[in-house]
Amino acid sequence: MAWLYVIVGGLFETVFAVSLKESNGFSRLWPTLSFAVSVVISMALLGLGLRELPVGTAYAVWTGIGAAGTAAVGMLFMDDPATFLRIAAIGLIVCGVILLNLVGGSAH
């Protein structure tokens, strides 16, 4: 269950990053509210996951999902450039998260 918390928390990290961009410096109400709600949910889920998982691995997975997800949303929906190197970089993030889980995914 801990991994589910971290994974869903990472998805909410993507939501809060995109909402932050869309809030235009907190000047737009709905994206600002979306940011505030999603950041609380994301942090709460990470905190629940950290009850059972090593901090380094869980945080890297949470951040990796957020970073890769935000980059993908930017390229797919926000006119961010979708170059080969950007897509390859996302692939490296995913590979790094997988490798971290293979070498140290459980506590104690």
35-79: pLDDT as tens digits: 999 999 999 999 999 999 999 899 999 999 999 999 999 999 999
Neighbours of 8 (CB within 10 A): 18
**Would you say the pTM of this structure is higher than 0.85?**
yes
Q: Please report which confidence band the pLDDT of residue 26 belongs to, taking 50, 70 and 90 as the band edges.
A: very high
Number of domains in the chain: 1
Give residue 97's pLDDT band: very low, low, confident or very high (50, 70, 90): confident
Range of the structural domain that residue 56 is part of: 2-104
pLDDT of residue 6: 97
